[in-house]
Amino acid sequence: MKPSSEQRVWFVTGVSTGFGRALAEAILEHGNILAGTVRQPDQQAAITALHPECALGLLMDVTQPEQVATAVQETLDRFGRIDVLVNNAGHGIVGAVEEVSDSEARRVFEVNVFGVLHVIRAVLPHMRARRSGLVINLSSQGGVVGFLGSGVYCATKHALEALSESLSKEAAHLGIGVMLVEPGVFRTDFAGRSLLLAEQRLADYDPTVGKRRDNLPHVDGKQPGDPVRGARAIVQAASEENPPLRLALGPDALQVMREKVAGMQRDWDAWEAISASTNYPPGAG
């Protein structure tokens, strides 16, 4: 099926469950075209079955550039273009900064940062050629605020924030927009199946990170955010003529990020004299 001029072709990573699956369904509900990536063959068939004419399930691991290139080409062969790219695939890890090993940290960075880079680099040439497109990167409130026990995860999302902001400035004149989505706490499997726990656990962190570890089973499945409503909000914002660079999702995300910005402003104001004292004096050679 070739899409009509009114339909947009969305390429979304990680649509098997959670936010990605809700987003896939919201895209199709709005009459658009979906190319959604998964990592298991049975999941691939399930995505295509959502709408055999308008949905295409693709096998792809974001950490494998060859698979990314193949999935992007399959989408172009089937639908002719990619209008919206959504980098949704990712996972978290809970552990104190000192507890997380190099291999655990690299695993999260490979998916959350380098995986995003692989997909962006595969799709951007086609958007540049058409002088049109929107890149949506799923960040987090943890992309703005550092939370205890999530130092490494938040570092990946802070990296994604910087990457996206720079890309928005680099590609705007090419007709390519960028939108960061910063969800708060949503009722997905993020705090369950998709979450890694650092293998090392140090007793000194039991009063802080340890409490968070122990509380995870009591939180999973009780989060206030509705992923269906969140997904619809993303589709709605992406459909606007001028989507925002940053879209916060959830009142909890709005609150903690506003508090972060206010705290930064207080520090800047309190230390303004020292901050402004570092230039050479006027007239100095």
Catalytic residues, which ones? Answer: 16, 139, 153, 157
Helix (H) or strand (E) holding 10: strand 9-12
- Count the Cβ atoms, other than its own, within 10 Å of residue 26: 22
Picking from 18, 15, 6, 17, the residue whose alpha carbon sits closest to that of residue 34 is: 15
Classify 23 in phi/psi space as left (phi over 0), alpha (psi -120 to 50) or beta: alpha
Question: DSSP letters of 221-279?
Answer: T--SB-HHHHHHHHHHHHHSSS--SEEEESHHHHHHHHHHHHHHHHHHHHTHHHHTT-S
Facing residues of 36 across strands? Answer: 12, 57
CB 41 within 8 A of CB 19: no
- Rounded to whole angstroms, how far apart are CA atoms 63 and 71? 13
Amino acid at 46: A
- Count the Cβ atoms, other than its own, within 10 Å of residue 64: 14
CA dihedral of 185, 188, 192, 198, whole degrees rounded to 10: -50
